[in-house]
Every structure is written in structure tokens, then in C-alpha cells.
Structure 1
């Protein structure tokens, strides 16, 4: 069932019910009888980000939504530091938030010109979601804070990915003459290095056949899904031609040394200090560069070449960092 632009104003309740049903259906717990509250919060964070990206100053837009929601809830979010254990890993937040963004695009694509009605629906759903979870023993101030943390991270990944692409295009391609394959490899390698450093790299040295460690596999999914969302042909050729585990490691050291200082300075400016967050943002940027280079009817780099190139740079760099730390810890 779809709603035309008139239905936004005359049948908002029915539309809101449809949105809630679609949202909750994706958040069932493992036994299918309840709702995974954390997953629901992450998907709502993605929905909020998708809405605020309609505007030029999305960061100010999301702050305004927090203020509106605080008024509706009758409380401010919980203060103080948030434990690392309170939130899932960055790649999970990105994955669930992207699900929320995709759902939001499908539901609201026909009436984006009614932005304020759109905002009312999102805020109402958040309010009702928190009230329902509060009846089960959760505190609305805690839930509000978790929503803010997930939303800020999701928005940060989106903004950082675009800015990293701009840095590569303007400084590396424009000024230093990097090729598109070098740009893809450089971003991917920076992502793999940040991931390894975020995980106590010396403990991550078990590589079995073609299987990737779970964290690395999840990060490659961030990259591949971003690329496919933006038009890169989907397929199973991402690992075609990757080196076997008995081959010497071949991380693109020169590209890392050239790009990582710029990326580090940028992350410091936007206060994205967590290395896992940096890894996810860099992986999303890699996916976007892949879509630019290998998407469309006449790609500048063939997908069958570009995709394994990005995968190899990320995995080889990750393995190199892990191996180096293992040697130094002996």
C-alpha cells in the first residue's frame, strides 16, 4: 500500500502505522516473539539521518530534532559518558542504520516535499517507541541517549565518507596525480589499518584459508554494500585473485603513508577519535570511490579489477598490522 501526497495530510495515522509495522518487522528478536530494542533504536537513528540529509546543514537539523523530541518526552537525554559495552560495534550500527535509511527512502520517496510532516511522523514514532520500552523497565532518558549516540555516529560516518572522498579527489588525484585504482587502494588500506589497530592487533593473527576474521569480514561488508547501493554491479567476484595465506603480505605502504596523515588530521577536526569509527567511515568512502570508478555503463576501471583491488588492500593491510604487532609482542 502506498500513499500519495494528499494522504500525508489526511491519512497520517494510517501511514504512520504502516511505517511502524515495516520498522518492527525488521527488528524481531531471535525467537521471533519480541522486538530487539537496540536494533529498533539503530534503525530509527538511520531514519532520522536520512531525513536530516535532505537539508544543507544536517548537523543543525538533527540537533533541532533532539530538542523537539526532548519536549515530547518531557525529559533530557541521560548525561555522562557512555560505556563502550552499551553500544554495538560501529559496523553493526552502520548496517542497522542503513536498513533504517533504506526503509525511510522507500516509505517517503513520494512526499519528500512535505518535510515537516515527515519530521512529525519520525518524532511521534520515537516517542511511542520509548514509551513502549519504558513499560518493560527501560528508562526513557537512557533510551534517548542511546538514540542520540547511534544517530550521531551514523551521521558522522556519512559526512566523513564524503569528506574523505573529497580529500582524495582534490589533493591526491588533483594535486598529486593519483589514479583511481591508487585512490581505491589507499582508502581501503587506511580502513584496514584502523580496524587492526582498534582490535589489539597482536591478538588477531589467526587466518584460516579464504575465511576472514569476523571483524574484517564485517568491515568489508560496509565497503561492498556502500558500493552496491551507489550503483556498482553486485556479484561474487570481490575475492577473485586474492593472494593465498602462504604468500608474503603486500600492503600498499606508500599509499598508506601518503593518505593516512590527511585522514588522521580530518578525523581529529571532526572529533572522530575512535579507531573503529574511523575504519567504518573509511570503508564507506572506499565503497563510494568504487562506485565512481567502476560503476555505470562505461566504467573507468572494470568492476572485476576494482573490487578485488579494494578487498586486497584492506585485507593485506589488516594482516600486515596484525603480524607486525604479533612479532613486536614476542
Structure 2
């Protein structure tokens, strides 16, 4: 790649904005590096989506990066402490993707040159982090993992929307509003199961707020007006839970087969993918001149489906909670 003054300025722009997004300076600790790495992974993933086959572009980019670094990624098992929760990963990589889109507006060359430029930026980060006792093969592996999970979330969210439209709406089983509620409900339901399986107190609303954030932010990115009316009209916490059980039962086999085909078997990651899909479907329902539902109604419906499904997990599957449940959480 030919380095020009313009590219150097763009690289500096990216570095400065990543520092602002992550809230860290050049004297980074290990967990700070992981946060920055996930934002950088989002920048790279967005460059891959410029191509017709982004997954292939990503794989080829990894090969080029390996040649540039002169090493292969470590094949050691990544400790779960080094991996961010899927919601946090999604939030940071989306920040990186937004940054990449802003940089692309000022990039004067083609998408191939942009991809090469981003790989050059990534390589410089990985080499620089060796001074922070992060071997480049370890950093490379963490980067690959973050980028792969980011792309999996994006592709699975879009494909899941298409699948629900084809298999449920297309067969007249569901309306668009049912699709929003079904995806939202399954996101809360699946996350509750994940919490319960790992001995977490699934009934605490603060836990589900992470999945709520994924859905609301995806909806806002897709054009749904932001605001404080997401929880308008929701029932009080001491009211009996009332989940859309029929919708959950209808979508469960669809999601189970879908995630099995994608080999996305982590429960928390599945809930993030469903929450992103719900946010996109919400935009379909509540945006545009011919919106099926006003956003002031559609947003609380989606929120209620997600929250009630999470709160009602014990009623739906009481056998999941055990006094001998493991306290080890490995998302």
C-alpha cells in the first residue's frame, strides 16, 4: 500500500476518535486494549461489507494481516475473562463501524484501497501493543475473534429478519407486529435461559437492560425516533409476568435451526442477534410514510415482549433453576 499524507491524516483521525470512544489514553492497560481492539474490529468489519461477499473478504484480510505481521494467530484457548459480553462487543464494534463510515466519506480511493488501508492501521495497532506485553499473535487472535463475532451478529440479524418474513409473515401466520414481538420475546427468553443455566439471578431487570440496549440502539440506527417512551405503559415489576408464550413457542424451532446452521450456539450471543433483528423489524413496522404502527406504540410493544419473557422464565421453565446451578459464568 502506498502511504500518502492524506492516509496518514486519516489514520491519525481514526486513532484520535478511537481514543475518545473508548475513553482511554496512550497509557493503556490490558482491558483498555481489548476495548480499543473491539472498536478497531468494527472498523475492519465495515470495510469488509463494502464487498459482495463480506465473509470471504474478511478471511482474505486475515491472511493478508498474517503475512504483514509475520505470524499466525495463537491457537491457545482464549480465557473467558478476556472476552467481552456480547452486548458490550456489539456496542463497541458498532462504534467502530460508524467511525469507518465517516472515514470512508473522505477516502478518495476505491474500496479495495480502503480495505488495505484499514488492514495497515490494524497491523500498526497490534505491533504497537507489544510494548504493553500483548504479543502480536495473541492480539491478532483477539482481533480475529472480535471481528468474526461482529460480522456474525450483523449477518445473523439480517438473515433472521428475512427468515421470519418468509416463514411466518409470508405464510400469514404472523403480522409485522407479531414479528417484532416474537423476536423481542425470544431475545429476552433466550437471555434468561442463559442467565439461569449459569446460576445468575435472571429476574433482576438490570441484567436484561444489556439486551434492551442492543434492541433500542439497533432500532434507532435503522431510523426509529429516539426518545424516552420505550417503557410507556409497561406494567409494574410486582405484577404477574405475561409473556407472549405462543409467539415464543412458534419462533423457537425457527431460531434453534437457524443458529445451529450458523454454529452460533452461545445463548447470550443468540439473544444479541435476536435483539438486533427485533430492532430492525421494529424499524420496518414503525418507520416510513406507511408505517403499520406509530413508533410510540410499537416501541413499548417490543419492550414489553422482551421484558415480560425475561421475567416469566421461571413460569415457563421452572426446572432450569436449581440450588446446584453453577456460579461460573462463561458467556
Q: TM-score, normalised by structure 1?
A: 0.90
Task: Supply the distance in 1 between the matched residues of 2:35 and 2:173 (Cα, whole angstroms).
Answer: 43
Q: Who is 1:34 aligned against? A: 27
Shift of 1:138: 1.0
User: Is it true that 1:52 corresponds to 2:44 in the alignment?
Assistant: no
1:212-266 Cα shifts (integer Å, max 9, x gaps): 32x3101101000000001001110000011112222111111111111011101
Q: Who is 1:313 aligned against? A: 305
Q: Who is 1:239 aligned against? A: 231
Shift of 1:9: 6.0
SS in structure 1 opposite 2:288?
coil
Q: Who is 1:20 aligned against? A: 15
SS in structure 2 opposite 1:26?
helix
Q: Who is 1:188 aligned against? A: 184
Q: Who is 1:4 aligned against? A: none
Task: Supply the distance in 1 between the matched residues of 2:264 and 2:322 (Cα, whole angstroms).
Answer: 28
Q: 2:86·2:272 contact (CA, 8 Å) conserved in 1?
A: yes
1:270-313 Cα shifts (integer Å, max 9, x gaps): 10010011000000000000011001244211111110111111
SS in structure 2 opposite 1:47?
helix
SS in structure 2 opposite 1:119?
helix
User: Is it true that 1:257 corresponds to 2:249 in the alignment?
Assistant: yes
SS in structure 1 opposite 2:22?
coil
Task: Supply the distance in 1 between the matched residues of 2:249 and 2:237 (Cα, whole angstroms).
Answer: 24
SS in structure 2 opposite 1:199?
helix
Q: 2:192·2:202 contact (CA, 8 Å) conserved in 1?
A: no
Q: Who is 1:273 aligned against? A: 265
Shift of 1:130: 1.1
Task: Supply the distance in 1 between the matched residues of 2:59 and 2:90 (Cα, whole angstroms).
Answer: 20
User: Is it true that 1:160 corresponds to 2:152 in the alignment?
Assistant: no
Shift of 1:112: 7.6
- Candidates 204, 213, 216, aligned match of 2:201: 204
Closer/same/farther in 2, CA of residues 11 and 160 from structure 1, 3 Å limit: same
Alignment of 1:1-330 (within 5 A): 11-29=6-24, 34-35=27-28, 36-111=32-107, 114-200=110-196, 203-207=200-204, 212-213=205-206, 215-322=207-314, 324-325=317-318, 329=322
Closer/same/farther in 2, CA of residues 313 and 121 from structure 1, 3 Å limit: same
1:57-89 Cα shifts (integer Å, max 9, x gaps): 111100001001001111000103322222010
Shift of 1:43: 0.5
Unaligned runs of 5+ in 1: 1-7
1:194-220 Cα shifts (integer Å, max 9, x gaps): 11111126642554xxxx32x310110
Q: 2:229·2:299 contact (CA, 8 Å) conserved in 1?
A: yes
Q: TM-score, normalised by structure 2?
A: 0.90
Task: Supply the distance in 2 between the matched residues of 1:119 and 1:299 (Cα, whole angstroms).
Answer: 37
Shift of 1:160: 0.3
Tell me the matched-pair count: 316
Q: 2:127·2:136 contact (CA, 8 Å) conserved in 1?
A: yes
